Amino acid sequence: MKTKIILKKVDPRSLRESVFITGFRTIGEVGYLATRHLVLKLGMRRIGFVTTPRYKDVAFLDEYGVATPFELFFDDKNKIIVQLNHFLPSQREWADFVKTTIKWMKEIGVKDSIAIGGLDKRYRTGQESFRWLKTTTSKVELDSPMIEKQLLMVGPLALYTAYSEIEDFPATILLPYAERDITDPAAAAVAIETINQIYSINVDVNELYEEARKIEEDIKRQLEAFQKESGRGKSTDRLYM
């Protein structure tokens, strides 16, 4: 048994010339936050599922109904397919998961793709909000600098990039700078704003920035409480956690 893509109530021919967008729960969970936001804000309809041999034994209720680990959504108006990965596949399945997805996209005639990840913001050296890279066949051009040469990518996003290059499939990888150890909705907003720019759509990101503000305030309150409890409440104290 291998990774399978199961479509529901959609003619694959209607997906031709679509844009495919995906992301994974890695640094800052940027890829997941961004793709889920796109699904909800665009009111996308679910058109299918991805199953794997070591399928996650998890299901839950989301805004659109019963959610499964890996799902496919479609926006008819903007011709956008989103692969929403609520979880990471088993590491042993990463390669097959990615290869199956790319092969399927080529078969149905997807014209372009975006994959979203994150970069640890502690290593930012300039003022840019994100870095990026693209495969040879991608025609996307962006003002922000590309990822630094020889900086290694790892995980499913790296496999998506590598197999897209091997298969001559157009892929652009967006890497907003993000907090490493907490969810970072602001970084997800940066990714969506870039997608808005590339494809001339208008997905609102105010909720993501508001969520980021609340997270920042919550962390600040926790730090202040910790400093007070430790007897180090001076504003000049620096706390490393």
Residue type, 235: S
HEC profile of 37-56: HHHHHCCCEEEEEEECCCCC
pLDDT at 229: 66
Residue 126 has pLDDT above 60, yes or no: yes
Q: How confident is the model at residue 222 (pLDDT cuts 50, 70, 90)?
A: confident
pLDDT at 175: 97
Q: Are the C-beta atoms of residues 117 and 158 closer than 8 Å to each other?
A: no
Residue 169 has pLDDT above 50, yes or no: yes
pLDDT at 157: 95
Compute the mean pLDDT over every residue in the chain, rounded to the nearest whole number: 91
Distance CA 67, CA 13 (A): 25
Distance CA 215, CA 221 (A): 10
pLDDT at 231: 63
pLDDT at 217: 85
Closest CA to 40 of 49, 48, 28, 32: 32
Question: In the numeric block, which tokens belong to residue 27?
Answer: 């640094």
pLDDT 10s digits, 86-104: 999 999 999 999 999 999 9
Q: Which residues contact 223 (CB under 8 A, 6 or more apart)?
A: 239, 241
Distance CA 154, CA 158 (A): 5
Residue 176: left (phi > 0), alpha (psi -120 to 50), or beta? beta
Percentage above 90 pLDDT, the chain: 80
Residue 190: left (phi > 0), alpha (psi -120 to 50), or beta? alpha
pLDDT 10s digits, 51-80: 999 999 999 999 999 999 999 999 999 999
